[in-house]
Amino acid sequence: MTRPFLLRGIRRYGAGEPVNLLVRNGLIAELGASVDGTGAEIFNGGGLVALPGLVDLHTHLREPGREDTETIATGSAAAALGGYTAVFAMANTDPVADTAVVVEYVYRRGRDIGLVDVHPVGAVTAGLHGQRLAELGAMATSAAAVRLFSDDGLCVHDSLLMRRALEYACGLGGVIAQHAEDPRLTAGAQAHEGRVAARLGLAGWPPAAEESIVARDCLLARDAGAALHICHVSSAGTVELLRWAKRRSIRVSAEVTPHHLLLTDERLSGYDPVNKVNPPLRTAADTEALRTALAEGIVDCVATDHAPHAAQDKDCEWSAARPGMLGLQTALSVVIATMVQPGLLDWRGVARVMSERPAQIGRAADQGRPIAVGEPANLVLVDPDATWTVHGVQLASLADNTPYEGMELPGRVVLTMLRGQVTTEDGKVQG
Ligand code: DOR
């Protein structure tokens, strides 16, 4: 049994009077607790906003296979420092997470490290080859209890295979997370198809490559009565398709990344591959539509697509560079800058899009819970008035490919707690 912990003077969801919150045996034991007589360790949270621990549906931890760029340990540390208490680790590792053995390895490693709950995502197709289904059932019934399946990095583009995947996953109580990209339309693509790519001489990635797959998959999900999740929505057109599907009660959910909320293809003019990402940064009209859709709930949640890459895969010419950017330690600040400061979301809304909805979509039952007595003490305390300057080398990830290098961002994670254990405090990993 661990010593009780008292968070003094915190503001739940940034609203109402400050309260003292007592944590005992991993649970929220009391709200409005007295400071005296509990024997608790006291943390002074005066003025800090308390949110349920953040949940990331889309993290690349790179272990097994590319431990030079990230490990489950370093990625877990980055996540906890960013305010997360759970992450979903994508399947495009080496070996691919397409069997019970690999997902159990990732799950157990995450549990042993203990900084965040690591939920392995299972591949949809064996080896991510898009030819035949992976062992969805074996992964679902393994110790890792996989419920989210994705070939992310690649699209499940064969429509019959996608249909079967949706049907199988539905039977397992799971969801297929689609990386929506018609590969025929993006062969050789390097940047959003538009004015900037034309000026820079980069082959274009048309929004229709995403939108056509989203439209098709919504129809397949409708017919199967199955749950579909759309990864990293990047275009205004996709938002309209999601609106159409949700109005018809099709079981579709969607995520947007912090970088697609903030950055546009105007960043590409210096040809710095740190800005290369898949799907690509698009236009200001797209970021605008994505912010509105997130506020309205048409896009359900924020997911980082945290994608660490080795220096040699980023410090090279544009066409040779790998797509992807770090995201775990900067996500909350970017959401504050793009959604809270402009008045599109309040803190309750942040809890919804960064904790509650992702936990529901990923079927992580004890995450994304209300800050209420009897609930698991998965919490993050945020200083809403602080700012910080991003330096890639100071981030916990092994890689340093952040697009926010040198930028001053609002909001600072002060403390993260997983089931009553402090995982990070003042920018330092605990324990
Ligand atoms: O930019 C990206 N990087 N997009 C993806 O879908 C995959 C990811 C990666 O694994 O690096």
Tokens, residue 183: 């590969």
Q: pLDDT value at position 1?
A: 59
Pairwise CA distance, residues 327 & 340, whole Å: 18
Atom index in ligand 1 nearest the CA of residue 60 equals 10
Query: Any idea where the domains of the chain sit in the sequence?
Result: 5-49+375-386+407-429, 53-361
Q: pLDDT exceeding 70 applies to what percent of the chain?
A: 100
Architecture of domain 53-361: Alpha-Beta Barrel (3.20)
CB neighbour class for 358 (10 Å; exposed up to 12, middle 13-18, buried from 19): buried
148 in Cβ contact with 88 (< 8 Å): yes
Tokens, residue 104: 């159990």
What is the pLDDT confidence band of residue 25, given thresholds at 50, 70 and 90?
very high
Query: What mean pLDDT comes out for the span 248-262?
Result: 99
- Whose C-alpha lies nearest to ligand 1, atom 2? 324
Atom index in ligand 1 nearest the CA of residue 90 equals 10
Across 164-180, b (16+ Cβ under 10 Å) vs e yields bbbebbbebebbbbbbb
Query: What mean pLDDT comes out for the span 404-420?
Result: 98
Query: What mean pLDDT comes out for the span 177-184?
Result: 99
Angle, helices 207-224 vs 159-171, to 10°: value is 50
pLDDT of 337-353, one tens digit each?
999 999 999 999 999 99
What is the pLDDT confidence band of residue 16, given thresholds at 50, 70 and 90?
confident
Pairwise CA distance, residues 70 & 18, whole Å: 38
Mean pLDDT of the chain: 97
Atom index in ligand 1 nearest the CA of residue 276 equals 1
> Which of 277, 278, 314 for a ligand 1 pocket mutation test, highest count of atoms within 8 Å of Cβ?
278
Please say if the pLDDT value at position 35 is more than 90: no
Closest CA to 165 of 123, 212, 127: 123
pLDDT of 288-334, one tens digit each?
999 999 999 999 999 999 999 999 999 999 999 999 999 999 999 99
The percent helix, strand, coil of the chain (3-state, each to 5) is 35, 25, 45
Q: pLDDT value at position 38?
A: 78
Please say if the pLDDT value at position 208 is more than 70: yes
Please say if the pLDDT value at position 138 is more than 70: yes
Please say if the pLDDT value at position 116 is more than 70: yes
Q: How many residues does the chain have?
A: 431
Closest CA to 294 of 328, 331, 249: 331
Q: How far apart are the two ends of the chain, measured CA to CA in Å?
A: 16
Residues with CB under 6 Å of ligand 1 are 60, 92, 152-153, 179, 277-278, 305, 307, 322-324
Q: What is the pTM of this model?
A: 0.98
> Amino acid letter at 331?
A
300 is catalytic: no
What is the pLDDT confidence band of residue 429, given thresholds at 50, 70 and 90?
very high
CATH class of 5-49+375-386+407-429: mainly beta
